[in-house]
Structure 1
Amino acid sequence: MSEQILPGYWLRVGSGYERSMLMKFIQLAYRELFPQQEDFSHLAQTVNQYLSKETPLWWVDNEPVEVPGNSSIGRQPVGCIWLGNAIDQVRGDRHAHIFLLYVMPEHRRRGIGSQLMRHAEDWAIVRGDRQIGLQVFQSNQPALALYHQLGYQTQSLWMVKPLSP
C-alpha cells in the first residue's frame, strides 16, 4: 500500500527483499559524488550488515502501488530513505540515523527529499527518539543546503587522514 506525499508521488514501505534496489540507489549516490571512483562493491557490506526490520526503508514511486505484499514487482522507484539507529555519544541516548536519502536527478527540486526527511522525523518522534542524525559529505552542497533549510546543525566533524604503509 502506498500514500501520496506530493502530486504524482507515492511513498511505500520497502522490504528486505529489495536489497538489490537499495544497492543500486547507494551506488548511484556515490557515483554522483565520486565520479572518478569505479568500484563501489564494498557498499554491499553496509547493506548486508545493516538492512533489517529494525532499519526501515521507504521508497518513492511516481505511480501508486496497490498490490499488497508485492509492492516492488516491476517498480522503478524515484527516491528512497533508509533509516537506522545510532547512539548519542554525549548523552548515551539511542536516536534515529539516516543511512541514505536519494532522489533520482530528474525528480529533484520537487520537494521529495523534504517530504522523505519529514517522514523520517515523524517516524523517529513516534518511536520516542529525541533527535535524528545523518552524515553528509562536505562536497555535497545541495544536500547540505537541504539539511540546513530543514533545521539540521553540525554537531561534530568526522575527520580522516590517509596513512601510508
Structure 2
Amino acid sequence: MIRRGSTLERSLLLKFMQRTYQDLFPNKDFSHLEQTVKQYFSSDTPLWWVEEEGEQGEQGEQGDKGTRGQGDKGNNYTQFPIPNSQFPIACLWVGNAIDQVQGNRHAHIFILYVVPEHRRRGIGTALMRYVENWAIQRGDRQIGLQVFQSNKPALNLYNQLGYQTQSLWMVKFLSAEK
C-alpha cells in the first residue's frame, strides 16, 4: 500500500535515508543527513511510504502490474500484493529541480529505498511508475534523480524504466593540507 507521508514523519524519513546510505557505505557515519532533511523536507517535497496491509484478504483486485490506482488523485493509498508488517518497507521522497537547459521545473527524486528483505518484488518499479504519474498530473515533463555508479541494482531499475544519463556529476577530493 502506498501512503502519502506527512511532514511529521521527519525522523522516520531520516532513518530511511541513513539506512540507504549505510547499505552502500556500511562503515560510514551518516548523521549529517539530518541537515539535508531539515533543509529540504517540507509540504512542497512529497513523501510516500509503502506499508503492508494488516490482512492479505483486504487488498482487493490487482492490476496486471500488481498495482491499483495511479498518481495522487485524492486517494492516499495504492495497493499491491506484499506480505504483512507494521513498519514501512519502502519510501519515496521527491523534490523540485530546474532543468538547466530548458528552465522548466521538474520532479527530482531525493530517495527511493526498499528495505532489503522486500526487494525484487516490484515495489521499486511500482513507486517509480507512481511518481511518474504524479509528475505528469502536475505538468512535469521530466523526472531527475542521482544514483551512485556503484549501485548496480538501482542503475538496472532506472535503465529498464527508460531513464538515461543526461549529465555526469564529477567530484575532485581536495586535501586540506598545504
Which bin holds the TM-score, normalised by the shorter protein?
0.7 to 0.9
Asked if residue 150 in structure 1 is aligned to residue 141 in structure 2, the reply is no
Stretches of structure 2 lacking an aligned partner (at least 5 in a row): 55-75, 78-84
Find 1:33's aligned residue among 19, 24, 33: 24
Asked if residue 85 in structure 1 is aligned to residue 96 in structure 2, the reply is yes
How many angstroms does 1:118 deviate by?
0.6
Residue 60 of structure 1 aligns with an amino acid whose one-letter code is V
Residue 48 of structure 1 aligns with an amino acid whose one-letter code is K
**1:13 matched to which residue of 2?**
4
Q: CA RMSD in A?
A: 1.6
The 2-side partners of 1:116 and 1:46 are apart by 22
Find 2:114's aligned residue among 103, 113, 135: 103
State TM-score, norm by structure 2: 0.80
The 1-side partners of 2:123 and 2:157 are apart by 11
How many angstroms does 1:36 deviate by?
2.3
**1:137 matched to which residue of 2?**
148
Stretches of structure 1 lacking an aligned partner (at least 5 in a row): 1-9, 67-73
Alignment coverage as a number of residue pairs = 148
Residue 53 of structure 2 aligns with an amino acid whose one-letter code is E
Residues 45-72 of structure 1, C-alpha deviations (whole Å, 9 max, x = no match): 1111111111000000011699xxxxxx
**2:47 matched to which residue of 1?**
57
How many angstroms does 1:75 deviate by?
4.3
Residues 7-39 of structure 1, C-alpha deviations (whole Å, 9 max, x = no match): xxx1101001111110110011000111121x1
How many angstroms does 1:138 deviate by?
0.4
Structure with the higher fraction of residues in strand conformation: 1
Using the aligned pairs only, state the percent identity.
Answer: 69
Could you say which structure has the larger radius of gyration? 2
The 1-side partners of 2:112 and 2:149 are apart by 15
Residue 31 of structure 1 aligns with an amino acid whose one-letter code is Q
Q: Residue 151 of structure 1: SS of its match in structure 2?
A: coil
